[in-house]
Amino acid sequence: MKAVKVLEPGNIQIIEEPIPEIIGDTDLLIKVKAAGICGSDIGIYDGTSSVATYPRIIGHEFSGEVVRIGSAISGVQVGDHIATDPVIACGACRVCQKKRSNVCMNLQVIGVHRDGGFREYVTVPEKSVYKVSPSLPWEHAAIIEPYTVAAQVAARGEVQEGDVVLILGSGQIAITILQVVKLLGATCIMTDVVEERLKRAKEFGADLLINSTKEDVVAKVKEFTSGIGADVAIDAACAGITLEQAALSVRPAGIVVTMGFADRQVRISEGTITKNELDIRGSRLNNNMFPKVIEWFETGKINPERIITHKLHFTKVLEGFDKVKKEPETTMKVILTFE
C-alpha cells in the first residue's frame, strides 16, 4: 500500500509499506476512503508541532470501510462505514477518571503520536471507531473530527441559546465553530484581518463582522452588546493579541476559550480576570463528541459540504498543503481521496 509519511520536518514522501496486520483482538483494519487536511498535519511537516514524533504517517481526520476485524470485536462488522476518533486515552489515569479523556496524562493521538490515516489501509482500536450511515458521503464522514473539535469548544464555553458569542478569527476551524454555535441558538460576532474571510463568515451566518485591522474589536463588541460584552469569547485565531481581546470583550462572569498551543506570553491582567470573575479555559481535541456530531450530520442539522473547497488524490498532499498555506482566502477544507 501507499502511505504519506513525514520522515523529518520538511521531508514528506509517498512510500510503499505492507498493509498493517491486526495485532490486538480488539483492533480492526480500515480501507481509507477520504481524509481531511488539518493545520496540525502541516505543522508536523513544517516542524512546528510541539507534540509530534518522527517519522510519522500523518492524518487524523479520516473515514473508511472495515475490511477485517479482531477476534474480540462484536460492535463492528466487515463492510461497515466508519469515522475515527484520533484520541486514544489510557482510561486509568486521574484525568481519565475525571472523564476528561481528551487531556489524558498518557494521551496518544492517531497521526501525531502514532501512525495515522494518510494511507490506503490503517489499523485502529475498536474504541476509536464510530459507525456512520452508508448514505453519508466518505468526504463528510472524514471531517466529523474537526466538527467534534468545534463541539468541544462550544461545550467548554457552555454556549447556550440566546448567548452572544465572539469568535476571533474566521478561518476553517472558526467557521465550523460558527456553524455549531449557530445551531445552538447563539448570536455570533466574527473577527479577522482578511476581508474575504469575513465575507465568507457572513455567508455562514455571522451576525456581526469586525475587521480588526480597521476597527477596535473590544469597542465594537461592547457597542453591539449595549456595553455588556459577549457571553463567550473563543480565540480561534491564536495570535496572542486575540486572547487579550477575548478577555476584554466578555461580560463579567463571562467565559473565554482558547485553542492556542504557542508558548508566547499574553497580556491579561490579574485585575481583568478577578474583577470580572472570568473563566479562561483551554479546549483540546474532543471529549466523546463523535455521537453528537454524527447525529448532526445524519439529520442535516449541519451541512459539512459547505466547508469543503478542494478534493485531491492523496498523492497530491503537498498541493493540498500549499492551498491551505498560500490560498487562505479561498481554501477551507481540503479533502484527500483514496479511490
Distance CA 104, CA 246 (A): 27
Q: What share of the chain is helix, strand, coil (3-state, %, to 5)?
A: 30, 30, 40
Tell whether 276 is covered by a domain: yes
- Mark whether 6 and 142 lie in a shared domain: yes
- Mark whether 33 and 144 lie in a shared domain: yes
Range of the domain at 182: 158-282
What pLDDT does 263 receive? 83
Based on DSSP, count helices (H) and strands (E) in the chain, helices before strands: 11, 18
Distance CA 133, CA 148 (A): 17
- 176-208 tens-digit pLDDT: 999 999 999 999 999 999 999 999 999 999 999
- Mark whether 50 and 186 lie in a shared domain: no
- Mark whether 144 and 292 lie in a shared domain: yes
Q: Could you tell me if 129 and 28 are in contact, meaning their C-beta atoms sit under 8 angstroms apart?
A: yes
Length of the chain: 339
- Mark whether 234 and 314 lie in a shared domain: no
pTM exceeds cut of 0.85: yes
- Mark whether 20 and 140 lie in a shared domain: yes
If one counts the domains in the chain, the total is 2
**Which domain CATH number covers 241?**
3.40.50.720
Where do we find the cell 501507499?
2
Give the residues of the chain that fall short of pLDDT 70: none
What pLDDT does 87 receive? 97
